[in-house]
Structure 1
């Protein structure tokens, strides 16, 4: 049975419980009711939203996670059942992996997955330009060749623990990303200004859309990591820092291009208009983008010889990380089709 991710992005909404249903109210009037068994998660991305303790308790009992985001997509917090963090053995092995070669292998795998998916998306975008814009098509493939050359450096990185080689991995990942975004800028419509990626404080259209989309994706990744019994803060590619969910930032790298970049580039190239108001995406446009990203997560990709929904693939990848740190079963990054 299909489940729904509830997105609440309107000021003044109350999220409560009525019988076996989640109810959304505004101005004391119910405008939406969904049975708990049909809810896969609740995403709150507006200020002025309130939740009852009853709905929080029921979500905890049924394994429904509640995520709080800013209007720009920055993930602030999540509310989940304490039972989801009860698998101590997995977390112990995860933390031990940081100090041996397992940490290096995972970090390289995350970087390779990200770069491979950048290449796949560029090839997907190039195929529609082969006949109508041969010059751009050739430029894209010249850029892909540069990215592939950078990616090859990862095969030669050796060390005893991730702290010894992280900067080498991040150097390759960063240079690949610069080539990727340079090509994305050429692919986008001429009237859309995009000077390059900017995370914190972005107010331009493209970066605002990307940051909001990544925030939604991040909430799904963090849920998958908790369900796999892993520690959000015990990453490998991303360095430790207080309050920094490094493992979530690691795993999200494999899915950015397939879930978010492809969706946003496709919408902009189709001429869909988004408005920026006071440095933020307009409310209606934000709702529409959230729906598109969540729909993309419901779409299927080939994985392990079969077709699965991307959200299922994400969960399986999180479980594969857990399997690798516990049993040594090789971790293979997710790479989409095109």
Structure 2
């Protein structure tokens, strides 16, 4: 099993990252003086995520590219901007199999992903009902999501699949506000993006962006092309396959993490700022808390529904990338998506 390497999140403005011998040095200029914030062995870092105004030396960029360490840049809202990509790796025969599968219009991979997403969304709602008691609105959505899963299982038309996926998301986020404790002080009026219009959306979009880049790195690690997807159409600069696999993790991983932080009142409404266009962004301390919580969540273990083995949450993207590669090679009859039980 792949070792779960450390992910390093840089959230301080004006931080400077560079390579010093075999260590990674993080510094920040404060009142004209350069202050060392962190120095660690560089080979112990699997991913580096930079948020806001962060500078990285060319030597460190080169090292990341040569050694497969993912280096990604985001703005203060958590929107992905760029990443350092090294030389192409992986089996060319696997990538050719991926392209043939996409070009042939095979629909079962996309269908399995959508079914897993809807099923996991339903389980999140069911867990809320078990914990907090009956709720007519949520129960109605749970029933409709169950119907959608049944209708999807024999579906082969990609357009109809996306229609069902869109309907399921509409119902799910329609009751999402009811999953938030009234004492927390947050109101979720519906899903908004680019920019998010409320703190809940800001946290969701931020974590979706972070996780999608980790999934992209996992796909490259097994030799797949993250830009060629089965569910999301190809678009220049978009990692469509990473977005495909992200659908499996939205509700059970990201949504539950955000809800936990809100309902435990670890984050508060005043932990966010609003720009002149109405976009909501997290303050630095809030962003740091979210990333620390995400790192802790990645260390937790779950039983994988297909493998039947204990797997760290942080390794799930790598496991799903491996399973997808095995299917494309012909070792598995179908791709088994991750779904929450």
Q: Partner residue of 1:301?
A: 302
CA–CA distance in structure 1, aligned partners of residues 295 and 252 of structure 2: 12
Structure 1 residue 39 displacement after superposition: 1.1
Residue of structure 1 in register with 2:119 after alignment:
116
- Tell me, yes or no, if the aligned pair for 1:72 and 1:208 is still in contact at 8 Å: yes
Of residues 37, 55, 59 in structure 2, which corresponds to 1:31?
A: 37
Q: Structure 1: 5+ residue runs without aligned partners?
A: 159-164
Residues 188-267 of structure 1 aligned to structure 2 (within 5 Å): 188-190=180-182, 191-267=185-261
Matched residues in 1 for 2:18 and 2:329: separation? 40
How many residues get paired? 323
| Equivalence for 2:155 | 157
Are residue 46 (structure 1) and residue 58 (structure 2) matched? Answer: no
1:91 Cα deviation from its structure 2 partner: 1.1
Alignment match of 1:94 (pick from 86, 91, 98): 98
Distance 1:150 1:97 in 2: 25
Q: What corresponds to 1:181 in structure 2?
A: 173
Give the conservation status (yes or no) of the 8 Å contact 2:73–2:81. yes
Instruction: Please give the TM-score of this superposition, normalised by the length of structure 1.
Output: 0.90
Cα distance, 1:202 vs structure 2: 1.3
1:3, 1:37 within 8 Å by CA — same for their partners in 2? no
1:149-202: CA deviations, max 9, x gaps? 1121212323xxxxxx22100111111111111221112133322111112221
Look up the SS of the partner of 1:234 in the other structure: coil
| RMSD of aligned alpha carbons | 1.7
Q: CA deviation at 1:228?
A: 1.5
Q: Distance in 1 between matches of 2:239 and 2:43?
A: 29
| TM-score normalised according to structure 2 size | 0.90
| Alignment correspondent of 1:161 | none
